[in-house]
Structure 1
Amino acid sequence: MFRNLYDNDTTVWSPQGRLFQVEYAMEAVKQGAATVGLKSKDCAVLIALCRASETETMQPKIMPVDMHLGISISGLTADARLICQYMRTECMSFRHSYSGSVPVNRLVTNLGNKMQATTQRYDRRPYGVGILVAGYDDGGSHLYQVTPSAVVLSCKAMAIGSRSQTARTYLERHLESFESCSMDDLICHGIQAIRGSLGHSHEENAALSINVAIVGANQPFKTFGEEENRKYLDMAKLMGNPVEGAGEATYSDDDLLGQGPSATSDCENDEDAATVASTEET
């Protein structure tokens, strides 16, 4: 039985109950550059690894959406630009109607609904991009992961992209400290997680190029410049090698997840805040 008989469009299921088009989109995320998100009680941080050859310029992996939130992406950048534009339009529409900022959980739920529709129509393909959404509103700091299969997860910390399991292991080992971390410490932990995904490659660590963004109480979403990035890279190096001396993680991947969007108290409509779920690879 040939696999390509069942991957012509998204609405065709294989005899094993798999949607190959959705799995292909998930694979695009695994091949993308690693990106990490963390949050404390006062702020949320995004750190993304930038990769480029000698003949290419680096494409930013962190995109501002509104003054109170932004996204970090892993996967197809073209798909990410479409999603970012959709989120910006939603923010402007909400501000025009209600004269305020859209709640973060409401926006990610709408995004999940949009991404889920592409997994059910034969004339569409799933978005080949994974997204980390960091924001701050009346409910505090937020960090969400949105997958190509339209699953929306509220997280305490998360890493996606190429070799991100090592980064998640680092986050699991230090999960207890994130809630009370300062902004500087949170950024350093994120950089250490990114460095961990590179393993023992000294050449890659020496030429590490990252994007860093922060949002929090009294802190609009801000993407740092190259000079600030370099300062935090130097601070993170003082913490040592994230791979050496790594013991067994105290927590599992499930512990990185928080409550779903529907559990956030600042949502105006419980139906709008329902967690979006679709078929994932088993």
Structure 2
Amino acid sequence: MEKKASLESSLRKSIQRKRGVNLASWAGNNKDYLEKALAKHGALLFRNFSIDAPAKFEAFARAVSANGELFDDYGDLPREELGAKVYGSTPYPADKAILFHNEGSHIHRWPMKIFFYCIKAAEKQGATPLLDCRKIYQAIDPAIIARMTEKKLMYVRNFISGLDVSWQHFFQTTDKKRVEDYCREAGIDFAWKEGNQLTTRQVRQAVVRHPHTGEMLFFNQIQLHHISCLDPDVRDSLLSMFREEDLPRNVYYGDGTRIEDEVVAAISEIYEQQAVRFQWQAGDVIILDNMTVAHARDPFEGTRKVLVAMAEVISQLDL
């Protein structure tokens, strides 16, 4: 329970406002402290600061970022406003959970840091559950870890008009040649299909060593993509319309063979045992080490608005 306790401790002992402190300025002057705290806990909560606008949130995220820059080339999230390097959280029905994932782990590059800012907390539920991926690596059956380390994971995505994100939005272009060039550079297999639809396949890591701490991590999006993790009614509806290989999203072992439902169920059970939850308050900001900590979203009632920023992008080649 040590790692889970560390994550819970980080949230309980959140960094509280001190009179006269500008959070962005303070963060810029205390980067070493923040780096050490983040390496230890994986998550830091800032509460009761005067973060009351997306621009202030962006300024704070830039101040924490090692190079002062934010990642602004990510097609899976909607832009908050034109020109800003801040995103809205994943648009998904309020009565459904968004399952655990490390942001960007299904593609060739991802942010080391991810920031969340609560503009409005939901009236009921709506937590952002967190997982310490160090602890998950230790808890999963070693045979599963060995298999996924060897085979890796293949993410298959069918960009179907009207379902999920369009390929035009994801790649931020309507030019097919630009999409093809991007895919070749990123090591993504692609195929155009009838009706202007696109299928992509990419093999990515399931288990990695943290590039800074050296700790082993279960780092992927297996729960978010595997068909068995969908609600039964959603899964049955999709399978009535599509063959399994044509589903909007799915994940396989890296050699293309199916990941057994019971393997995913065992992983999901460990996730739920290890999940740490807290209730958002308006103005809260959280920093996650995106490799050390996975996140999700609980269902909610009412209105909920949480913004996202990302920084310090690395790729598979950096590991």
Q: Could you state the TM-score of these two structures normalised by the residue count of structure 1?
A: 0.29
Higher strand share: 2
Structure with more contact order per residue of length (Cα contacts < 8 Å, sep ≥ 6): 2
